[in-house]
Structure 1
Amino acid sequence: MATTNWQRHDGTNHYLEQVRWAIPFGPEQTKLMLQVIGHFTPAPKKILDLGCGNGFLAEILLRLHPDATAVLVDHSMPMIERAYIHMKDYLDRCQIIHGDFSDSFQAYAEPESVDCVVSGYAIHHLPNEKKKKLYKEIYDALTPGGIFINMEHTASATPEIEKLYDELFIDHLSAFNKKDRRQVANEYYSRPDKVDNILERTDVQVEWLWEIGFTHCDCFFKWMELAVFGGVKK
């Protein structure tokens, strides 16, 4: 199983308490994700949440679809511990797995067995060749008409745009946490999990989905390096 900074409780707690809810347009991203799923796959029976974190996305989907079940996977044990707490009202309808989907995805989903695959800020930790391989495995796991939606951190087109994104993101973190901007900037640029990010442009990843065989592939939302994109299995 991969060893990253997400195995640390301090990093996990910092992300969930000071970063996750400060992500710009986070509610809008989630709402649009649900609207896209509702349009193409309105009644999913089985949901797979890759890199589930504390279970935020799976919990919303199970609440909206009372007949559905979910499998939640994350390689971070601290996140898995938080997921058991967050999902306490849905433990009879979900399976929470400490596992690494970058190498053993088929252990979590047989071919054509899942109606909806979601991921939130997780797949960008994989090398690009593994990202593309995972997207193909997701396609194989989906039922016909099933949907994949990735809420993700992607690469900027140029270093100057990346610089602008960093500055704007720091503004959001500072305002949300009511902390001095200089302190937030120092924490942001020196954060240990930065080395775990392997970013790729949104348009490149959407093109991968088309090549794999997905249809209705698009970037449904984008603000700087934050994107919601995906596709539907034919």
Structure 2
Amino acid sequence: MSAKQDRIFSTPQSSVADFRFDDKVASVFPDMISRSVPGYGEILHTLSEIAQRFVSENSNVYDLGCSLGAASLAMRRKVSAQGVRLVAIDNSEAMIKRAKEHLDAFVSPVEVDLVCADIRDVAIERASMVVLNFTLQFLNPDDRDRLIRKIYQGMLPGGILVVSEKLVFPQPRLHKLLDDLHLDFKRANGYSELEISQKRTALENVMRPDSWQEHQARFARAGFEESTLWFQCYNFASMIAIK
């Protein structure tokens, strides 16, 4: 299934609306995320490797904020344990509809439940692996602690949480450098200054990233005794926490 090119912000807009994961975004999402998030492919590849090691028999796996199901596909690819159920959740009907098409195209013994819902309202039960792939940053900051705590409480001992996010940095010079390198990455992938500027405006009110230190403190507050940052490219990173 070939992805359409992301041209959503290529024409001048008199008033840039807040970013929404609607049908327009869903139709170009694979192109958008691959050209916008450095290291995205490496993160997906490693989710497969982590799933192979951590997903246990008769357990549940959760992809929270699944978008088109790329993380779900990656995890299913290497799961060999029996009796595993994968729950993929997103609050965008457009994303869930396309995720079903993507997941149905690959045969796997791992059952998938696609759920259109708010991830804050879904119970987490008997989880051996939970993934938040560029999802937490779109939640209200007040809801993040509650969600991570709920995930911890619903995980099996030895279960793993993977959280991938854009980061902010407390040191202004480092923050500017890594932000500038990310902008260069987007330019190198064909985005114009207009597209970069308008998308940034669209995201300002809906995406509020945390620092790695804030994520680590949140994991600890939820009960995770072990957490680390396993991948970083510019201001994008992926973290793991083990129960």
TM-score per shorter chain, which class? Answer: 0.7 to 0.9
SS across alignment from 1:87: helix
Q: Which one has the bigger helix percentage?
A: 1
**How far apart are the structure 1 equivalents of 2:197 and 2:99?**
29
Which residue in the other structure is 2:90 paired with? Answer: 74
Is 1:101 the counterpart of 2:119 in the alignment? yes
Asked if the contact 1:119/1:151 (under 8 Å) is kept, the reply is yes
- Number of paired residues? 221
Measured on the aligned residues, the alpha-carbon RMSD in Å equals 2.5
Asked if the contact 2:167/2:212 (under 8 Å) is kept, the reply is yes
- Per-residue CA deviations over 1:50-82 (Å, capped at 9, x if unaligned) read 000111111111111143320000111121112
**How far apart are the structure 1 equivalents of 2:240 and 2:38?**
20
SS across alignment from 1:70: strand
- Residues 7 and 34 (structure 1), Cα distance of their counterparts in 2 relative to 1, 3 Å cut: closer
Which of the residues 96, 108, 130 maps onto 2:143? 130
SS across alignment from 1:169: helix
Which residue in the other structure is 2:7 paired with? Answer: none
Is 1:165 the counterpart of 2:178 in the alignment? yes
Displacement of 1:160:
4.4
Displacement of 1:35:
4.3
Which residue in the other structure is 1:195 paired with? Answer: 205
Is 1:6 the counterpart of 2:20 in the alignment? yes
Which residue in the other structure is 1:186 paired with? Answer: 197
Is 1:219 the counterpart of 2:229 in the alignment? yes
Displacement of 1:149:
0.8
Asked if the contact 1:12/1:78 (under 8 Å) is kept, the reply is yes
Which residue in the other structure is 1:142 paired with? Answer: 155
SS across alignment from 2:66: coil
Displacement of 1:219:
1.3
Identity between Structure 1 and Structure 2 (%): 19
**How far apart are the structure 2 equivalents of 1:14 and 1:82?**
11
- Residues 70 and 222 (structure 1), Cα distance of their counterparts in 2 relative to 1, 3 Å cut: same
Is 1:47 the counterpart of 2:61 in the alignment? yes
Q: TM-score, normalised by structure 2?
A: 0.79
- Residues 81 and 5 (structure 1), Cα distance of their counterparts in 2 relative to 1, 3 Å cut: farther
SS across alignment from 2:131: strand
